[in-house]
A and B are shown apart, each in its own frame.
Chain A
Amino acid sequence: MTFVPAVSRRHFIAGSLAAMGGLTLGFHVPLPGRAAAEETAPEINAWVVVKPDETVIIRIARSEMGQGTLTGLAQLVAEELECDWARVTTEYPTPAANLARNRVWGSFSTGGSRGIRESHEYVRKGGATARAMLVAAAAAEWKVAPAECTVAKGVISHGASGRSTTYGKVTAAAAQMAPPADVTLKDPKDWTIAGKPLPRLDTADKLTGKQVYGIDLQQPGMLNAAIKACPVFGGKIRSFDASAITAMPGVRKVVQVDEATVAVVADTWWRAKTALDALPITWDDGPNKDLTSAAIADMLAQGLEAQEAFIGNENGDAHKALAGPGRQVTATYAYPYQNHATMEPMNATAVWTAEKCEVWVPTQNGEGSLAAAAEAAGLPAQQCDIHKIHLGGGFGRRGAFQDYVRQAVLIAKELPGIPVKLIWSREEDMLHGAYHPTTQCKLTGVLDEQNNLTALHMRISGQSILAAVRPDGMQNGKDPVVFQGLLATGPENEFGYSIDNLLVDHAMRNPPVPPGFWRGVNLNQNALYVECFMDELAHAAGQDPLAFRRKLMAKHPKHLAVLNAVAERIGWDKPAPQGVHRGLAQIMGFASYVAAAAEVSVTDGRLKIHRIVAATDPGHAVNPAQIERQVEGSFAYGLSASLYGECVVAQGRMEQENFDTYEVMRMADMPPVETIVLPSGGFWGGVGEPTIAVAAPAVLNALFAATGKRIRTMPLKNHSLA
């Protein structure tokens, strides 16, 4: 059994005023991001360092947050380099180094399932170029033509003369060679390292406690900061009484970080948090103090009927078709706010002087962290740097949003030369998220006399992420990202159905709650809306949901292929086991085609998900084992959201402050997942996010088959299945 103490979260505060004589034992951990290898070996190029002992260091610009990109990108480089995979290690270059070298490593941004699909070509070229330079160095020493040399696992051979050498032996000479003007990349069908289900490179230290996360960082003389911002969105600090806590043990400084935020710096984080909890603060709740989720829902409901809307996809004349003959089917769906809830709360460690600012941070976007640090530091970016650390979860919270970096630097600025580690409490993390946006969707379809779908209007109403976060990405006021999975054409998000009269439009309604990119982003609710409604239409037409979809998918063979794959594997054409019912869903997102089939039963009002079958066509599969893990994890994330995920706004703030009220999926809820990876080649799709979107509709469609209940408002926990 696990002993779970029954204590309230406030249990320790009462004793916090007791004197604590504390001593933080300093201990050193190697800091990630330092290119230690350069001390012993020069780089071959920006991507590859070979040490004389044959260790191959591959530089990885994208962040590792569990999604496996670190291993996948290293496989792509190693494939072209033809080194010994057993000797591969990795390191992160720093954003300042990227800046100083004219962005030689390209983008550091790690989101949108782009880590591999948008950098595969230049990282492979990096590996191929390094291979050419290493071979050229050996060939020059032997005075033979490089083309006469072969490479296997880092051993260079010249067959004609019987000579051979190793990468480690020629690394110094190779570093001096001119890089070839161009290199030819391997055909993926010839891959021997990439494309294989290799184990991750970063597992061992995660099993023993050795892996250092940002929250674990220790530096000599380091102080710790706890932070609290006004819990009401848009609120500010009216006043606080620092004198009430300055004598508490360990407290060094109380810092007003900005107009809404105050931090306490102490020798340990627990003392900082204890003092912060004791700090008398009066808030000015501001203009949103009466905001509720119900008021937001009303605002969105008005958008469902509004005249003005941005058009995302249009074919034929849906309005005319809706006014004409045929049977109308209408339904309205709604999707709530949700928090990313990374297991590692937000944190950053900063040290500031008038000349330099350095930050150690788990970040999905090192360059974004650098920009935030420089701005807060009041220094040019060239005088700042970011040391990236593996993330304890990202899910979109740690990319576009660098609030914790800004705060850490502003706090450190008050204590020049002293490293300060800022850690958010879980409560702070829950109250100051970048929430999955809330939307509603009214869908109206028209079935003709033969029960063919002749028209579909999909009116989305709700929040735009870009309007709040990246206004430069707007197109004349329209947020194109709102239409993920619903666009007419394009390599990322093509709608998988051909409908004669189609209109997908968006009435933008932006409540004063900060939205963010949340793993899967807008594909999550869009797939839920369209795939549950397709199921509704199929039932209204009296047709099998798979057959109904297939009629509309003839011009979308890749969408259809993954749908057919899950239908076949789950045995759609055969009866389900007694009491078990099935549902289907498909969508395209992040340039991949995904589908899911679910088997569920409901007993005494309780849902049990017996089995999930998922299919993914990402074009190329760089590591099939990691894709399986991403697909499984996507079901945990997507089902967690649809079963439980909800942040409720009341009195202008989120009600949920921790996992006791913000429930997430645990082991007992997790269904078995069978993953089918179907790389059809010719394109590069992402795998970290798309499958999330089909999790909920597949299960909800199966739930309808089991109960006749159509759940249209998330999450499921708010509905009775009895």
Chain B
Amino acid sequence: MARLTINGTTRDIDVDPDTPLLWALREQAGLTGTKYGCGIAQCGSCTVHVDGVATRSCSMPVSAFTPEQQIVTIEGLSPDGSHPVQRAWLALDVPQCGYCQAGMIMAAAALIAQNPKPSDADIDAEMTNICRCGTYNRVRAAIKLAASGETPASNG
């Protein structure tokens, strides 16, 4: 059993304490936006926020978390996809297959929250998620657009 606060709601999750947070999110909490890519904290597909810090959830057991810690997944980043990072991603049509993009967006949102005007070097250092489709240049452009505060409401 684990008591976790996910996307603002504290809930008891019936799960073995050694289960990685990723799999508790996906299989017990039903939040499949957070993805499995490697299981060893290498690829970043599983990135969520824990108290605002981008965290690779595949390699942290649920027992490592307290109910006081705020876990935010892609489903909870904004109620309607309106977070500035999500709007920037939409405006620049960033995703290709999209599988890594939830992790990318969560990492980018955490980066901008801590560093509102990241330089290219900051982006290189902090955005270490893997994308095999090769969206990196548009991810970079979207981070800069989101940081500019000039994100359009939509691209429609």
Assuming the contacts A199-B93, A199-B155, A208-B75, asked whether A3 and B134 have C-beta atoms less than 8 A apart, the reply is no
Q: Is the CB of A268 within 8 A of B136?
A: no
Judge if A101 is at the interface, Cβ distance under 8 Å. Answer: no
Judge if A345 is at the interface, Cβ distance under 8 Å. Answer: yes
Q: Is the CB of A344 within 8 A of B56?
A: no
- Contact residues, A11-68 vs B (CB, 8 A): 11-12, 14-16, 18-25, 27, 65-68
- Contact residues, B32-68 vs A (CB, 8 A): 32-45, 47, 50, 53-56, 59-61
Q: Is the CB of B15 within 8 A of A20?
A: yes
Could you say which residues of chain B place their CB within 8 Å of the CB of A143? none
Could you say which residues of chain B place their CB within 8 Å of the CB of A634? 134
Q: Is the CB of B54 within 8 A of A204?
A: no
Could you say which residues of chain B place their CB within 8 Å of the CB of A218? 30, 32
User: How far apart are the CA atoms of A15 and B59 in the complex, in Å?
Assistant: 14
Q: Is the CB of B27 within 8 A of A24?
A: yes
User: How far apart are the CA atoms of A442 and B96 in the complex, in Å?
Assistant: 37
Judge if A578 is at the interface, Cβ distance under 8 Å. Answer: no
Assuming the contacts A9-B40, A270-B27, A637-B132, asked whether A216 and B86 have C-beta atoms less than 8 A apart, the reply is no
Residue-wise, chain A 49-92 has the 8 Å CB interface mask toward B (1 for contact) of 00000000000000001111000000000000000001000000
Could you say which residues of chain A place their CB within 8 Å of the CB of B140? 667, 670
Assuming the contacts A11-B59, A15-B16, asked whether A66 and B90 have C-beta atoms less than 8 A apart, the reply is no
Could you say which residues of chain A place their CB within 8 Å of the CB of B145? none
In this complex, what residue of A is CB-closest to B57? A5
Which of the 9-residue segments A184-192, A312-320, A349-357, A388-396 touches chain B? A388-396
Judge if A625 is at the interface, Cβ distance under 8 Å. Answer: yes
User: How far apart are the CA atoms of A637 and B30 in the complex, in Å?
Assistant: 32
Assuming the contacts A4-B56, A209-B74, A667-B124, asked whether A636 and B97 have C-beta atoms less than 8 A apart, the reply is no
Nearest CB on A from B33, distance (A): 2
Q: Is the CB of A636 within 8 A of B136?
A: yes
Judge if A610 is at the interface, Cβ distance under 8 Å. Answer: no
Which of the 9-residue segments A476-484, A535-543, A657-665, A714-722 touches chain B? A657-665
Q: Is the CB of B38 within 8 A of A658?
A: yes
Residue from A5, A209, A343 having most chain B Cβ neighbours under 10 A: A343
Could you say which residues of chain A place their CB within 8 Å of the CB of B74? 208-209
Could you say which residues of chain A place their CB within 8 Å of the CB of B14? 21-23
Could you say which residues of chain A place their CB within 8 Å of the CB of B96? 66-68, 629, 633
Could you say which residues of chain B place their CB within 8 Å of the CB of A171? none
Q: Is the CB of B41 within 8 A of A5?
A: yes
Could you say which residues of chain A place their CB within 8 Å of the CB of B86? 207-208
Could you say which residues of chain B place their CB within 8 Å of the CB of A627? none
User: How far apart are the CA atoms of A640 and B41 in the complex, in Å?
Assistant: 19
Could you say which residues of chain A place their CB within 8 Å of the CB of B127? 666-667
Q: Is the CB of A3 within 8 A of B56?
A: yes
In this complex, what residue of B is CB-closest to A659? B42
Q: Is the CB of A390 within 8 A of B38?
A: no
User: How far apart are the CA atoms of A616 and B107 in the complex, in Å?
Assistant: 33
Judge if A215 is at the interface, Cβ distance under 8 Å. Answer: yes
Nearest CB on B from A150, distance (A): 26
User: How far apart are the CA atoms of A204 and B86 in the complex, in Å?
Assistant: 9
Judge if A181 is at the interface, Cβ distance under 8 Å. Answer: no
Judge if A2 is at the interface, Cβ distance under 8 Å. Answer: yes
Residue-wise, chain B 85-97 has the 8 Å CB interface mask toward A (1 for contact) of 0100110011111
User: How far apart are the CA atoms of A218 and B23 in the complex, in Å?
Assistant: 14
Q: Is the CB of B129 within 8 A of A666?
A: yes
In this complex, what residue of A is CB-closest to B37? A343
Assuming the contacts A22-B15, A25-B28, asked whether A2 and B55 have C-beta atoms less than 8 A apart, the reply is yes
Could you say which residues of chain B place their CB within 8 Å of the CB of A11? 59
Assuming the contacts A343-B35, A633-B134, asked whether A667 and B128 have C-beta atoms less than 8 A apart, the reply is yes
- Contact residues, B1-47 vs A (CB, 8 A): 1, 14-20, 23, 26-45, 47
**How many residues does chain B have at the interface if contact means C-beta atoms less than 8 Å apart?**
80
In this complex, what residue of B is CB-closest to A2? B54
Nearest CB on B from A478, distance (A): 32
In this complex, what residue of A is CB-closest to B47? A2
Q: Is the CB of B16 within 8 A of A20?
A: yes
Could you say which residues of chain B place their CB within 8 Å of the CB of A8? 40
Q: Is the CB of B40 within 8 A of A344?
A: no
Q: Is the CB of B33 within 8 A of A210?
A: yes
In this complex, what residue of B is CB-closest to A625? B93
In this complex, what residue of A is CB-closest to B53? A3
Interface of A is mostly: loop
Assuming the contacts A206-B98, A668-B125, asked whether A629 and B138 have C-beta atoms less than 8 A apart, the reply is yes
Judge if A1 is at the interface, Cβ distance under 8 Å. Answer: yes
Assuming the contacts A2-B56, A209-B34, asked whether A16 and B18 have C-beta atoms less than 8 A apart, the reply is yes
Q: Is the CB of A635 within 8 A of B15?
A: no
Could you say which residues of chain A place their CB within 8 Å of the CB of B16? 15, 18-20, 22, 249, 271
Could you say which residues of chain B place their CB within 8 Å of the CB of A469? none
Which single member of A5, A66, A199, A269 contacts B27 (CB below 8 Å)?
A269
Nearest CB on B from A683, distance (A): 25
Assuming the contacts A4-B41, A66-B98, asked whether A25 and B29 have C-beta atoms less than 8 A apart, the reply is yes
Could you say which residues of chain A place their CB within 8 Å of the CB of B50? 3
Judge if A213 is at the interface, Cβ distance under 8 Å. Answer: yes
Could you say which residues of chain A place their CB within 8 Å of the CB of B36? 215, 345, 423
Could you say which residues of chain B place their CB within 8 Å of the CB of A2? 44, 47, 53-56, 107, 110, 126, 128
Q: Is the CB of A207 within 8 A of B130?
A: no
Q: Is the CB of A343 within 8 A of B97?
A: yes
Nearest CB on A from B11, distance (A): 10
Could you say which residues of chain B place their CB within 8 Å of the CB of A271? 16
User: How far apart are the CA atoms of A342 and B85 in the complex, in Å?
Assistant: 25
Q: Is the CB of A203 within 8 A of B43?
A: no
Assuming the contacts A25-B28, A343-B37, A343-B45, asked whether A395 and B101 have C-beta atoms less than 8 A apart, the reply is no
In this complex, what residue of A is CB-closest to B20? A12
Judge if B71 is at the interface, Cβ distance under 8 Å. Answer: no
Q: Is the CB of A658 within 8 A of B133?
A: no
In this complex, what residue of B is CB-closest to A210? B33
Judge if B105 is at the interface, Cβ distance under 8 Å. Answer: yes
Residue-wise, chain A 430-456 has the 8 Å CB interface mask toward B (1 for contact) of 000000000000000000000000000
Q: Is the CB of A18 within 8 A of B42?
A: no
Could you say which residues of chain B place their CB within 8 Å of the CB of A5? 41, 55-56, 59-60
In this complex, what residue of B is CB-closest to A20? B16
Could you say which residues of chain B place their CB within 8 Å of the CB of A392? 35, 97-99
Nearest CB on A from B138, distance (A): 7
User: How far apart are the CA atoms of A658 and B43 in the complex, in Å?
Assistant: 10
Which single member of B30, B35, B107, B134 contacts A25 (CB below 8 Å)?
B30
User: How far apart are the CA atoms of A394 and B95 in the complex, in Å?
Assistant: 15
Judge if B81 is at the interface, Cβ distance under 8 Å. Answer: yes
Nearest CB on A from B112, distance (A): 13
Which single member of B1, B19, B81, B99 contacts A393 (CB below 8 Å)?
B99
Judge if B147 is at the interface, Cβ distance under 8 Å. Answer: no
Judge if A547 is at the interface, Cβ distance under 8 Å. Answer: no
Q: Is the CB of B18 within 8 A of A668?
A: no
Which single member of B99, B101, B130 contacts A666 (CB below 8 Å)?
B130
Residue from B54, B102, B134 having most chain A Cβ neighbours under 10 A: B134
B residues in contact (CB < 8 Å) with A: 1, 14-20, 23, 26-45, 47, 50, 53-56, 59-61, 73-75, 77, 81, 86, 89-90, 93-102, 105, 107, 110, 114, 123-140, 155-156
A-B interface, 5 closest residue pairs, ranked by CB to CB distance from nearest: A209-B33, A636-B134, A66-B97, A392-B99, A20-B16
A269-B27, A636-B131, A660-B40 known; 12 new pairs, CB 8 Å cut-off, are A2-B107, A2-B128, A4-B56, A7-B41, A27-B30, A343-B99, A390-B97, A632-B137, A637-B134, A664-B130, A666-B128, A667-B127
In the complex, 19 of the A-B residue pairs with CB atoms within 8 angstroms, ordered by the A residue number, are A9-B40, A12-B61, A15-B61, A18-B16, A25-B28, A25-B29, A203-B94, A211-B98, A213-B35, A213-B99, A268-B23, A268-B28, A270-B19, A345-B37, A392-B35, A636-B132, A659-B37, A664-B132, A673-B137
